[in-house]
Amino acid sequence: MTIDICASVHLSGALPPCPNERCTLLSAMRVLIRDLAKILREKPEEPVELEGWVHRIRELGGLSFIILRDRSGMVQAVATEKLDLTLESVISISGIPVRTEKAPGGIEIQVRTLTCISRAAQDMPYRVNAAFGRMGLETVLDNRILSLRNPALQAVFKVQATIIEAFSAYLRSQDFTEIRTSKLVANGTEGGTALFAVEYFNKKLYLAQSPQFYKQVMVASGMERVFEVAQVYRAEKHDTPRHLNEYVSLDVEMAFIESELELIALEKALLIHIFSELARKNSPELALHQAAVPDAAAVERSPTLSYEEALRIAIKESGNARLFDINPEVERLLCVWSMREYQSPLVFINAFPRRHRPFYTYPLGDTLTMSFDTLFRGLEITSGSRRQHDYQAFVEALPRFGLKAQDMPGYLTLLQYGCPPHGGFALGCERLTQKILGLTSVKEASLFPRDRKRISP
């Protein structure tokens, strides 16, 4: 009734032999490509077992050269015969690793036995081993199931995993609690934005465009500092390189702040941690995209401009006096300016006019707000603000936004029974990934992107 296997070995990809003598699993012998150099040092001339995908095959002078790919990297294997293999087949190789300058990476496997575990059909509709950038975006996304095997395309999501991990870890270190809130809501947070309707039994609900209200509830509950990493939905018809109808929002909310400046300080600290974790863990993935992350000093140097100042600078930069809003063109101009003047790829813009921000934003005087946006490498990646926590002021401001108090019982309860000053922001995970790697479209930074036309895979 007990299980005759050894979790530690099989799960960690440790070196053979399996220390558990009752272990009967074949994969106990498997090693990862990234461990070959170490194995060669410690146990030269001993055979190893590798498992992975056939990335390339080349026949030359009676020899077959295979590039084998596993989750940890690639290595060349040489067999002394012609092999009946197809690209992308899953194989198991037993062989002797040897050092050689001829092989990429300096190690080659001399194949003793080769087993095909899962043979790939010949008619592959996508060339997995094509250089990144050779395939157009539509081809990449139409063939997503296969194109994600390309190391550079897969690297995007290893980078994204680190972004999410570093975001969460930094916030936990600052006493934030992770929350998971419902994505099925009775109405939108912001009002106005198009929502996707869900047939919920005999009712109509909507997919949440933001966890805004729930974050505020949790702050006011006494949790004070919360974050959520989750999908949000916008039924906007845009089909642009900067829009997705479903995206991952990195959401933060915290109590007892005075203004949006503390939120900007928090985001700077967060970005510094994310960038340094990427530099530490993902240099191979960054290299596949010839990408580099900003250092801490570049983040710290980033300017904070008021909305008015930002427009003034954009007008001066462009020579175009007819810029009345922070549109995509202005975002690009400001980042070029910041790079030149501050050697920083980031710009924070605050003091947005009240008419540009949602009803829950905390005012600054009569016409401005304690709000901010973050631009990174030419693109808005964050929007945040201090929120109105005062019940009276909240109710009095609603008519300005065409809203009625009786339509928002949740907000009234939230604010009526002791709500601390608070604020937060949302960072677009795909946009941040896109800009870190220099991808052309945000869709490349979503595993299975949804837009108006794309609904599969």
Q: In the range 350-379, which residues lie near a second copy by CB under 8 A? A: none
- Between residues 229 and 442, which has the closer beta carbon with respect to a second copy? 229
Name residue, tokens 């945040």: 384
CB of 453 to a second copy, least distance (A): 9
**Do you find a cis peptide bond into 457, omega within 30 degrees of 0?**
yes
* Contact predicate 385/370, CB 8 Å: yes
- Between residues 94 and 174, which has the closer beta carbon with respect to a second copy? 174
Torsion over CA: 35, 39, 40, 45 (sign): negative
CB of 222 to a second copy, least distance (A): 5
Please state, in angstroms and rounded to a whole number, the distance separating the CA atoms of residues 171 and 223.
Answer: 13
* Of the candidates 268, 263, 228, the residue with the CA atom closest to the CA atom of residue 248: 228
CB of 355 to a second copy, least distance (A): 25
- Name the burial class of residue 433, with classes exposed (0-12), middle (13-18) and buried (19+) by CB atoms within 10 angstroms of its CB: buried
Helix (H) or strand (E) holding 61: none
Name residue, tokens 């990809």: 13
Q: In the range 237-296, which residues lie near a second copy by CB under 8 A? A: 237, 245-246, 248, 255-258, 261-262, 264-266, 268-269
CA angle 294, 300, 302 (to 5 degrees): 80
Selected from 110, 139, 174, 318, the binder of a second copy by CB under 8 A is 174
- Check binding of 197 to a second copy (CB under 8 A): yes
Selected from 389, 431, 435, 443, the binder of a second copy by CB under 8 A is 389
- Check binding of 421 to a second copy (CB under 8 A): yes
Selected from 75, 108, 225, 251, the binder of a second copy by CB under 8 A is 225
Q: How far apart are the first and last CA of the chain?
A: 41
Dihedral, 79, 85, 89, 94 alpha carbons, nearest 10 = -20
Selected from 414, 432, 437, 439, the binder of a second copy by CB under 8 A is 414
CB of 94 to a second copy, least distance (A): 15
Q: In the range 226-245, which residues lie near a second copy by CB under 8 A? A: 229-231, 233, 235, 237, 245
Contact region with a second copy (CB under 8 A), list: 10-18, 102-110, 284-292, 322-330: 10-18
Q: In the range 111-170, which residues lie near a second copy by CB under 8 A? A: 117-121, 124, 144-146, 148-149, 154, 157-158, 160-161, 164-165, 168
Q: What is the token pair recorded at 253?
A: 């909310």
Q: What is the token pair recorded at 256?
A: 């007892």
- Between residues 154 and 276, which has the closer beta carbon with respect to a second copy? 154
For residue 209, give the amino acid letter: Q
Contact region with a second copy (CB under 8 A), list: 4-12, 99-107, 131-139, 286-294: 4-12
Q: What is the b/e burial string over 303-313, where b = at least 16 CB atoms within 10 angstroms of the residue's CB?
A: bbbebeebbeb
CB of 178 to a second copy, least distance (A): 4
- Check binding of 327 to a second copy (CB under 8 A): no
- Between residues 44 and 457, which has the closer beta carbon with respect to a second copy? 457
Selected from 60, 61, 201, 321, the binder of a second copy by CB under 8 A is 201
- Check binding of 217 to a second copy (CB under 8 A): yes
Q: In the range 67-106, which residues lie near a second copy by CB under 8 A? A: 69-72, 86, 88-90
CB of 60 to a second copy, least distance (A): 23
- Check binding of 455 to a second copy (CB under 8 A): yes
- Between residues 305 and 368, which has the closer beta carbon with respect to a second copy? 305
Torsion angles phi and psi, residue 18, rounded to 5: -65, 125
- Check binding of 13 to a second copy (CB under 8 A): yes
* Of the candidates 128, 159, 147, the residue with the CA atom closest to the CA atom of residue 437: 159
Q: What is the token pair recorded at 110?
A: 């001399």
Contact region with a second copy (CB under 8 A), list: 104-112, 320-328, 393-401, 449-457: 449-457
Cα dist from 353 to 264, 275, 307, whole Å: 18, 31, 8
- Check binding of 175 to a second copy (CB under 8 A): yes
Torsion angles phi and psi, residue 297, rounded to 5: -65, -35
- Check binding of 31 to a second copy (CB under 8 A): no
CB of 243 to a second copy, least distance (A): 13
Torsion over CA: 361, 367, 370, 375 (sign): positive
DSSP 3-state assignment of 358? Answer: coil
The residue count for binding a second copy (CB under 8 A) is 124
Helix (H) or strand (E) holding 207: strand 203-207
- Between residues 43 and 204, which has the closer beta carbon with respect to a second copy? 204
- Between residues 192 and 222, which has the closer beta carbon with respect to a second copy? 222
